Amino acid sequence: MFDPEQLGNVFGNIQKEFSDLEQKAKDTCITAKSGGGLVSVSINGAGELIDIAIDDSLLEDKESLQILLISAINDAYKSVEENKKSMAFQLFGGMNPFGGK
């Protein structure tokens, strides 16, 4: 027999797990480097840029600095997305809601 209260409890538990997952993601810091470490960026799991480190040798080469910044930021955002997928995969107990293997 259908029990609306039980269904509500299940949804409540799922909401709490998602909330915990979001907080865990936000507490995660992902760092990416480019140019052999000349540029380093850090992004939290919520996708917020939290730190940039630039080697002084790049300060007079604007074009190289721009290229290396773009590369490092893009790599960091890719890592954030992979981390989110991995955490969601764990939440669903091994079922992959994103398809694939």
Q: What is the pLDDT of residues 57-81, one digit of tens each?
A: 999 999 999 999 999 999 999 998 8
Is residue 19 very low, low, confident or very high in pLDDT (cuts 50, 70, 90)?
Answer: confident
Q: What is the pLDDT of residues 78-100, one digit of tens each?
A: 998 898 888 777 777 655 555 55
Domain boundaries, the chain: 32-92
Can you give the pLDDT at residue 25?
74
Give the architecture-level CATH label for domain 32-92.
2-Layer Sandwich (3.30)
Can you give the pLDDT at residue 79?
92
Q: 71: which residues sit within 8 A by CB, 6+ positions away? A: 34, 35, 39
- Between CA 55 and CA 46 the distance in angstroms is 26
Can you give the pLDDT at residue 96?
52
